[in-house]
């Protein structure tokens, strides 16, 4: 047995480089105070492996699990050729290997749960499933009613964790440029009202809950750490598919039957890629999210291949975006500044299956789809290979990563460039027939986990708002509820924000007033305590005033910056308009040229058709001529034969007559006859004058020979 071991994964060697980077916002000292601090870490791409169970007991297997992170791929005997005497084994190492009996919850808690926790902490994540058709990618990502996959579990866990810390709906509003705006409560309330009315209108028509939602398979879901209790959270989802290298919004408004409009990928102000014009839906529960997902799912392109009855013919990307910002005890945002918003996203990608057309026997549209799927997966492999090469060969000039060659890599460019954690689940169907594809998938997985992703982790520290673990909000809520218990109408309306009290120092001291001495010492203690609080309050006030001054300066700075940006924007707008105008002129010129090209093309086509007609006519004429020639030749031959017969007859006759009349006379004259004029010179070649056998003019009396100019025409007459 021959055994080779592939490069082991460098799991333990991650997080080697840690450096602190400060990225100041444009201009002024004040902006530095509100800068985003970025911590950069390097992490390898996390690659997990999930092995599906064999479809039936009799099937041969080509994968053997060694332990929780190693597998062996064995070449099945039917694949071995004569040269390979021994069976070849290759060992592959993963971050974790899930055997066929691993449950959906096992996969979720090992792979996706840390990513949801990261999402709540404000970090991005990309998780994709990769493998051949039918290997269990969709099962892993979405699952079914009884075995819910990663996506519904992510939603369930997220909503459980942020429960009680959700923002009121429509407070965060997408600006359609990959960011969020903060809406006034009155506007948000109006939108909520409209939505409620719509909901009740549709209420009667609503169908039963979807099996994915209705499932009871939620055990094992835990509350996650990392939530900022000073923040309120809003969850948004988008669902897109990449089909034949075009991007479609599966949640596009309108009828399900309606054909979807292709979307473009754009870069936002922070250089993040996003699908322009995609519909982002704010959701308030996991059930609502899954309902929306199911609507999109109905629009997804599925097809039947020989290898999988319900095969995904497109790559689908389900993205959960979380917006969070500091809020007060009434769950109202403390600042309308959009920079207080932390946005993080988790993209769950179900890649279409790679496949060999020879096995799937695809034709027509299916073949084209398969070609596009394989091409985009190839681009993904190339991008990762180049990334790895650039990281390993630091001295050589870096290769340009061809992200733009495929929509899927273009969309996730930021992740590979370091905007979040990237994980991949490699799904394996261990059947011996799938050996070749599995070997390819393994090679890709091996290469992928050598790619180091540089991660920049934003830590929000904006406008002096620091996380306090929700302590202020908790105290405030307690105070309000205590006042409510007093049943005093005036106090019930008490709306003070007492959160700042906790900043004034330690809790109120206990005091005893049993005896006078106790009362005096308690009073003294209390006086001191209160004086300390008053001093602290004074210090805080001074600090607050200086902060106000700072803020005022900062606002002035922002205003001046804003006005200069506005000027810049105006000039940009003017030049944009100019460019637009120029573009319009160029487009009309192009259209003009295109129409003249079309006209010329048509003319050329017409001419070509005429040439063809003429050629056909020429050929026809040629055939007719050839026929005529043949006929003439035939007639000539006939005539010559006749002539010969006649001449022979004549000769015999003359011999006979000369033997009776003049036995010694040489009869050599040719018989004159009239040969019709042969007009065509080409026919001359067929004319073979008979050799003259006799003395010309020996008997002028009997024979007279007439020739034409060319000597072709002979007239022989018997006198």
Ligand X SMILES: Nc1ncnc2c1ncn2[C@@H]1O[C@H](COP(=O)(O)OP(=O)(O)OP(=O)(O)O)[C@@H](O)[C@H]1O
Q: Tell me the closest approach of the beta carbon of residue 53 to ligand X, in angstroms.
A: 6
Based on the shown chain and the rule CB under 6 A, indicate whether residue 420 belongs to the binding site for ligand X: no
Residues 6+ apart with CB under 8 A from 332: 185
Q: Report the alpha-carbon distance of residue 387 to residue 394 in Å, rounded.
A: 11
Rounded to 5 degrees, φ, ψ at 92 are -125, 140
Quick one: how far is CA 373 from the chain centroid? Answer: 10
**Smallest distance, ligand X to C-beta of residue 377, A:** 11
User: With binding defined as CB under 6 A, does residue 308 bind ligand X?
Assistant: yes
134 is in an annotated binding site: yes
Residues 98 and 100: their CA atoms lie apart, in Å, by 7
Please say which residue, 134 or 470, places its beta carbon nearer to ligand X.
134
- Closest contact distance (angstroms) between CB of 59 and ligand X is 13
Which is nearer to ligand X, 419 or 437 (by Cβ)?
A: 437
Is 149 among the residues that bind ligand X (CB under 6 A)?
no
**The token pair that represents 647 in the structure block:** 């001449």
CA atoms of 72 and 1, how far apart (whole Å): 13
In eight-state DSSP terms, residue 681 is G
Judge contact between 238 and 285, C-beta under 8 A.
Answer: no
From residue 84, how far is each of 61, 79, 81 by CA, in Å?
19, 10, 6
In our burial notation (b when 16+ CB lie closer than 10 A, e otherwise), range 704-717 reads: beeeeeeeeebebe
Asked if 124 touches ligand X (CB under 6 A), the answer is no
Least CB distance from residue 560 to ligand X, whole Å? 56
Nearer to ligand X, 55 or 509 (CB): 55
The one segment of 131-139, 341-349, 487-495, 611-619 that binds ligand X by CB under 6 A:
131-139
Stretch that binds ligand X, among 136-144, 212-220, 320-328, 691-699 (CB under 6 A): 136-144
C-alpha count within 13 angstroms, C-beta hemisphere, residue 327: 26
Query: 114 vs 303, which CB is nearer to ligand X?
Result: 303
CB atoms closer than 10 angstroms to residue 246:
15
Confirm or reject binding of residue 152 to ligand X (CB under 6 A).
Answer: no
Residue 121 vs 137, nearer CB to ligand X: 137
Write down the least CB distance from residue 349 to ligand X, Å. 12
Torsions phi, psi of 425, nearest 5?
-110, 120
Question: How many beta carbons lie within 10 A of that of residue 223, not counting itself?
Answer: 10
Residue 449 lies near ligand X (rule: CB under 6 A): no
Strand residues in 204-260 grouped as ranges (E): 231-243, 246-249
Instruction: Give dist(CA 148, CA 137) in Å, integer.
Output: 13
Considering the rule CB under 6 A, would residue 75 count as an interface residue with ligand X?
no
As measured in angstroms, the least distance from the Cβ of 445 to ligand X is 15
In terms of Cβ atoms closer than 10 Å to its own Cβ (0-12, 13-18, 19+), residue 131 is buried
What is the rounded distance in angstroms from the CA atom of residue 713 to the CA atom of residue 253? 95
Q: Is 148 in the site for ligand X (CB under 6 A)?
A: no
Q: Which of residues 340-369 bind ligand X (CB under 6 A)?
A: 352-353
Q: CB-wise, 234 or 349, nearer to ligand X?
A: 349
Out of 113, 133, 231, 329, which residue is the one contacting ligand X (CB under 6 A)?
Answer: 133
CA nearest 136: which of 230, 253, 55? 55
Instruction: List the one residue from 311, 345, 406, 421 that touches ligand X (CB under 6 A).
Output: 311
Q: Decide whether 232 or 349 has the Cβ nearer to ligand X.
A: 349
Residue 131 makes contact with ligand X by CB under 6 A: yes
Write the binding mask 34 to 63 for ligand X: x where contact by CB under 6 A, - elsewhere.
Answer: ------------------xx----------
If the CB atoms of residues 52 and 381 are measured against ligand X, the closer one turns out to be: 52
Residues in the chain: 719
* Number of shown-chain residues binding ligand X (CB under 6 A): 17
Q: Give the interface with ligand X as residue ranges (CB under 6 A).
A: 52-53, 131, 133-139, 308, 310-312, 352-353, 427
Residues annotated in a binding site for ATP: 131-138
Residues annotated in a binding site: 131-138
């Amino acid at each position: 047995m021959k055994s080779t071991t592939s490069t082991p994964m460098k799991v333990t060697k991650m997080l080697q480089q840690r450096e602190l980077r400060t990225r100041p916002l444009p201009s002024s000292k004040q902006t530095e105070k509100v800068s985003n601090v970025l911590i950069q870490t390097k992490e390898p791409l996390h690659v997990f492996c999930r092995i599906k169970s064999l479809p039936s007991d009799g099937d041969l297997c080509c994968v053997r699990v060694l332990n929780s992170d190693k597998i062996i791929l064995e070449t099945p005997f039917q694949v071995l050729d004569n040269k390979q005497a021994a069976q070849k084994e290759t060992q592959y190492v993963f971050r974790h290997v899930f055997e066929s009996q691993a449950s959906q919850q096992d996969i979720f808690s090992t792979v996706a749960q840390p990513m949801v926790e990261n999402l709540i902490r404000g970090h991005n994540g990309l998780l994709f499933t990769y493998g051949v058709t039918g290997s269990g990618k969709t099962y892993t990502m979405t699952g079914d009613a009884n075995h819910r996959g990663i996506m519904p579990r992510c939603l369930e866990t997220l909503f459980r964790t942020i429960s009680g810390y959700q923002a009121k709906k429509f407070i965060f509003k997408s600006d359609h440029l990959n960011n969020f705006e903060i809406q006034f409560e009155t506007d948000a309330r109006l939108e909520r009202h409209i939505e409620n009315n719509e909901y009740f209108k549709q209420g009667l028509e609503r169908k039963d809950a979807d099996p994915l939602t209705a499932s009871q398979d939620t055990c094992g879901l835990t509350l996650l750490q990392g939530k900022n209790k000073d923040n309120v959270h809003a969850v948004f989802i988008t669902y897109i598919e990449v089909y034949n290298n075009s991007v479609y919004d599966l949640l596009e408004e309108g009828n399900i039957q309606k054909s979807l409009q292709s979307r473009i990928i754009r870069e936002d102000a922070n250089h993040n890629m996003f699908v322009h014009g995609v519909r982002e839906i704010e959701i308030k529960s996991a059930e609502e999210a899954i309902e929306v997902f199911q609507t999109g799912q109905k629009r997804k392109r599925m097809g039947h291949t020989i290898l999988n009855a319900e095969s995904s013919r497109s790559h689908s990307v389900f993205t959960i975006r979380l917006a969070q910002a500091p809020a007060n005890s009434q769950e109202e945002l403390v600042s309308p500044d959009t920079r207080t918003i932390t946005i993080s996203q988790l993209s769950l990608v179900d890649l279409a299956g790679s496949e060999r057309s020879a096995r799937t026997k695809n034709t027509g549209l299916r073949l084209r789809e398969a070609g596009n799927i394989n091409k985009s997966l190839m681009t993904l492999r190339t991008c990762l290979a180049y990334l790895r090469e650039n990281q390993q060969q630091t001295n050589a000039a870096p290769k340009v990563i061809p992200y733009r060659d495929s929509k899927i890599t273009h969309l996730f460019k930021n992740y590979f460039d370091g905007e979040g954690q990237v994980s991949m689940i490699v799904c394996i169907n261990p059947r011996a027939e799938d050996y070749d594809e599995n070997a390819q998938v393994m090679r890709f997985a091996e290469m992928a986990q050598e790619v180091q992703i540089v991660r920049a982790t934003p830590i929000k520290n904006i406008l002096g708002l620091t996380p306090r673990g929700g302590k202020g909000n908790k105290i405030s809520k307690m105070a309000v509820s205590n006042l409510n218990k007093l049943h005093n109408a005036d106090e019930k309306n008490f709306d003070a924000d007492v959160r700042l009290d906790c900043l004034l120092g330690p809790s109120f001291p206990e005091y005893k007033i049993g005896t006078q001495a106790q009362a005096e010492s308690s009073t003294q203690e209390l006086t001191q305590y209160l004086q300390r609080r008053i001093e602290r309050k004074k210090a805080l006030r001074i600090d607050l005033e200086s902060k106000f001054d700072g803020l005022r300066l900062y606002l002035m700075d922002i205003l001046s910056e804003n006005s200069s940006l506005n000027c810049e924007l105006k000039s940009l707008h003017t030049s944009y308009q100019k460019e637009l105008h120029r573009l319009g002129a160029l487009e009309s010129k192009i259209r003009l040229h295109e129409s003249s090209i079309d006209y010329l093309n048509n003319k050329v086509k017409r001419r070509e058709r005429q040439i063809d007609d003429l050629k056909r006519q020429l050929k026809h004429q040629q055939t007719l001529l050839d026929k005529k020639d043949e006929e003439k030749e035939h007639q000539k031959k006939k005539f010559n034969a006749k002539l010969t017969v006649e001449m022979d007859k004549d000769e015999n006759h003359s011999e006979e007559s000369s033997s009776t009349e003049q036995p010694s006379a040489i009869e050599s004259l040719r018989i004159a006859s009239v040969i019709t004029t042969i007009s065509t010179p080409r026919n001359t070649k067929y004319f073979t004058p008979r050799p003259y056998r006799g003395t010309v003019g020996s008997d002028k009396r009997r024979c007279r020979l007439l020739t034409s100019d060319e000597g072709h025409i002979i007239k022989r007459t018997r006198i």
